[in-house]
């Protein structure tokens, strides 16, 4: 089976850098997703990592280590609009029909 | 494109009532799915479909039925509502099963009294 763990809440200051972690245990592995979800809204896709290393997309970067079962989302130059929940997810079963198992999410609060 | 649309946005039911949550997408996506989201928990998959006429169960299917008669529509039916089904329901789609990106609808907030 699959399971994911994320911290429930992270706080940071506007303009700073914050890292949101996700650890997973899977019987196999075929990629890890990150979604952003603002309060009362639908999740929106941020990134998908299937190989080890860091992938950068503007202010957002996502890192994966398959050997450690670990991923993180790095947000730079934080803005107030980045206050949201960040969800990590893996496929279940690996390589299957896009059935995703989600973590409980990390709520990021950005303060002035 | 409207993307993924869901109706209604809010609904209050009494225990034992039945209802259908509507979901439609205009992107010609093969894959559609339903999730529920509860406080402190991640999204949990209820049912999914890899194409018209094909559906399968997800992680928490009990108490829900689905059908997929067209590519565009994927309604979720609550057979006999229970307070445990109070949740926010999201429909999602992707152009094919196994695609990297799923597009989510705006959600339906359901309360069962």
Tens-place pLDDT, residues A50-99:
999 999 999 999 999 999 999 999 999 999 999 999 999 998 776 565 68
> Is A31 within 8 Å of B100 (Cβ atoms)?
yes
Number of other CB atoms surrounding residue B46 within 10 Å: 24
Chain B interface, best mutation among A34, A91, A100, by max B CB count within 10 A: A100
> Which residues of A lie closer than 8 Å to B, measured between beta carbons?
4, 8, 31, 33, 41-45, 48, 87, 89, 95-105
As a whole number of angstroms, the distance between CA B20 and CA B6 comes to 11
Strand ranges (DSSP E) for chain B?
A: 4-7, 10-13, 19-25, 31-37, 43-51, 54-57, 64-66, 76-78, 87-94, 103-104, 108-112
Q: What is the pLDDT of residue B96?
A: 82
Q: Residue A87 and residue B31: Cβ atoms within 8 Å? A: no
Confidence band, pLDDT 50/70/90 cuts, at residue A30: confident
pLDDT digits (tens, 9 = 90+) for B35-84: 999 988 889 999 999 999 999 999 899 999 999 999 999 999 999 999 99
């Amino acid at each position: 089976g699959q399971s994911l763990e994320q911290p429930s809440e992270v706080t940071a200051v506007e303009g700073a850098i914050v890292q949101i972690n996700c650890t997973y245990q899977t019987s196999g592995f075929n990629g890890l997703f990150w979604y952003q979800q603002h309060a009362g809204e639908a999740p929106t896709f941020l990134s998908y990592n299937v190989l080890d290393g860091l992938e950068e997309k503007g202010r957002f970067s996502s890192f994966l280590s398959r050997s450690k079962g670990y991923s993180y989302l790095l947000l730079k130059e934080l803005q107030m609009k980045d206050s949201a929940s960040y969800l990590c997810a893996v496929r279940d079963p690996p390589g299957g029909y896009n059935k995703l198992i989600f973590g409980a999410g990390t709520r990021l609060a950005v303060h002035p | 494109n409207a993307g993924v649309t869901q109706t209604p946005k809010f609904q209050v039911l009494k225990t034992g009532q039945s209802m259908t949550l509507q979901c439609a997408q205009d992107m010609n996506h093969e894959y559609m799915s339903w999730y529920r989201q509860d406080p402190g928990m991640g999204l949990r998959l209820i049912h999914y479909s890899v194409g018209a006429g094909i559906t399968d169960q997800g992680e928490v299917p009990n108490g829900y039925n689905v059908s997929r008669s067209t590519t565009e529509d994927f309604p979720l039916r609550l057979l006999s509502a229970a307070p445990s089904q109070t949740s926010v329901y999201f429909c999602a789609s992707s152009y094919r099963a196994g695609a990297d990106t799923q597009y989510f609808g705006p959600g339906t907030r359901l309360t069962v009294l």
